[in-house]
Structure 1
Amino acid sequence: MKRTLTKTDKVAVPVIIALSVLVPIIVLILMYLPERYNIFGTQTGTFPFFHAVLNGSTAILLMLGYFFMSIREYKLHRNTMIIAFGLSAIFLVSYVISKISNDPVPYGGEGILRPVYFFILITHIVLSAIIVPLVLFTMYRGLTGEYKKHAKIARWTFPIWLYVAITGVLVYIFMWPYY
């Protein structure tokens, strides 16, 4: 049986795909800007701390949202996940601003911590790009009442999103001495 796209799918799916491609490309371009523009006059460590707070809060909300879903408190689940999505959106905007504002800070750790840090960082970066379409499709399916599709994709979205949120905090902890 061939699935036909609904009217909202005909708009939402291309928008989700476009955002899923554009967001990582924009972040990558900003990482390699030849010149920085410190828009808010912030110090180097200001943004990373704020990002760690957002990531930590998102991780807590994701676990809380999972708990609410498991006890069938669907309205609380929905509201918690919307807040987690909002914090992630704030993170993304702030992260883009931080890349425009501040030069990248190199990791200065040595020994066994160095490969551990880079493993966490690389998996965090790769999964951060992958999580964009997963979160957008999961939110879209949940908010449009397509709960079977929502649940099917959320099985993948939840652990990846939680990993990205937690490793975002870990990256900050590893980098804290170098800011």
Structure 2
Amino acid sequence: MTDKVLYRTVAAISIVVFALVVLLNRKVIPGPAVVPSFAYFLPKLNAILNGTCSVLLVVSLFFIKYKQIQIHKTLNFIAGCLSTVFLLSYVLFHYLAPETLYGDLNGDGVVDAMEKGAAGGIRFVYFAILGTHILLAAVVLPLVLLSFYRGFAMQVQRHKKLVRWTFPIWLYVTVTGVIVYLMISPYYHF
């Protein structure tokens, strides 16, 4: 595959995924009138998938440091598959379920002054983590796709240059995904 075709393919996939996530998050595509019961397990599943990916990424780094290339590839492939399942689950949840607001104690879809006061300054911490998580999640998809291609095609030098950026961003996104879940989960009203 030429670089031109690779970059266009990665760009197309990234744009479609980003657009789908935005459309579903903004409820441009309305969800069902009744939320299926399984949908309420999806945020926990997403946190489990993110946490597992975090561990796999760190273990993968360990193995590549010791030149265990096949184990490294296998662990990254599993992490990529789990991230794909995460993305599908995330999109499905945001299609099916209403938005959860940080601090919305009574589940009415509005965070009033009393609820803001109850949440306190931790709201700003939550939004800082969430904001960087969302921004870097959008950035990491094309980096992961390119890194996978370079790694599996054994373009080692190009892969190494790319994963210097990809690895810490992907790890940050998976770790903060778990943190965001832990912070927002008390406000789920299922």
- What is the TM-score with the length of structure 1 in the denominator? 0.91
Q: For the residues of structure 1 that align with 2:39 and 2:120, how far apart are their CA atoms? A: 25
Q: Counterpart of 1:29 in 2: which secondary structure?
A: helix
Write out the 4+ residue segments of structure 1 that deviate beyond 6 Å after TM superposition. Answer: none
* RMSD, matched Cα: 1.7
Say if 2:76 is the partner of 1:67: no
Say if 2:98 is the partner of 1:103: yes
Structure 1 unmatched runs, 5+: 1-6
How many aligned residue pairs are there? 173
Q: Per-residue deviation at 1:39? A: 8.8
Match 2:80 to one of 81, 85, 102: 85
Q: Per-residue deviation at 1:8? A: 4.5
Distance 1:127 1:80, change over 3 A: same
Structure 2 unmatched runs, 5+: 104-117
**Partner AA of 1:12 in structure 2:** L
Distance 1:38 1:94, change over 3 A: farther
Please give the per-residue CA displacement for 1:88-109, whole angstroms capped at 9, x wherever unaligned.
0010111111111111111116
Q: Per-residue deviation at 1:24? A: 1.1
Q: For the residues of structure 2 that align with 1:83 and 1:44, how far apart are their CA atoms? A: 24
Distance 1:78 1:119, change over 3 A: same
Paired-residue identity, %: 40
Say if 2:15 is the partner of 1:21: yes
Q: Per-residue deviation at 1:43? A: 5.5
**Partner AA of 1:145 in structure 2:** M
Q: For the residues of structure 2 that align with 1:105 and 1:124, how far apart are their CA atoms? A: 17
Q: For the residues of structure 1 that align with 2:35 and 2:182, how far apart are their CA atoms? A: 24
Q: Per-residue deviation at 1:9? A: 3.4
- What is the TM-score with the length of structure 2 in the denominator? 0.86
Partner of 1:125: 134
RCO comparison, higher one (Cα < 8 Å, 6+) = 1
8 Å Cα contact 2:35/2:97 also seen in 1:
no
